[in-house]
Amino acid sequence: MNWRSAPRSPWIARLVLIGALFGAWEIAARWFVDKMFLSPPSRVFVSLGEVLRTPGVLDALKQTFWELGAAFALSVALGLALGLAVGLRPFPRRSLMPIVLLLYGLPQITILPLFILYFGIGPASKIAFGVSHGVFPVIVTTVAGVQNLKPILVLSARAMGANRMQMLRWVVFPHMIPSFFSGLRLAMSGVLLGVLLAELYVSQSGIGHFTTLFTQSLEPTKLLGLIALLAAMAIFLNEVVRRAETRFDRFKTV
Please report how close the Cβ of residue 101 comes to another protein at its closest, in angstroms. 11
Backbone angles phi, psi at 231, to 5 degrees: -65, -40
Cβ 88 to another protein shortest distance, Å: 16
Interface mask (CB under 8 A) for another protein, residues 218-237, using x and -? Answer: x-x--xx--x--xx--xx--
Binding residue count for another protein, defined by CB under 8 A: 48
Nearest approach in angstroms of CB 188 to another protein is 9
By CB under 8 A, residue 96 contacts another protein: yes
Residues 186 and 175 sit within 8 Å (Cβ to Cβ) = no
Compute the least distance from the CB of residue 250 to another protein, in Å. 21
Buried residues in 91-110 as b, exposed as e (16+ CB within 10 A): eebeebbeebeeeeeeebee
* Interface residue list for another protein (CB under 8 A): 3, 6, 10, 13-14, 17-18, 37-38, 91, 94-96, 98-99, 105-107, 109-114, 117-118, 189, 192-193, 196-197, 200-201, 211-212, 214-215, 218, 220, 223-224, 227, 230-231, 234-235, 238, 242
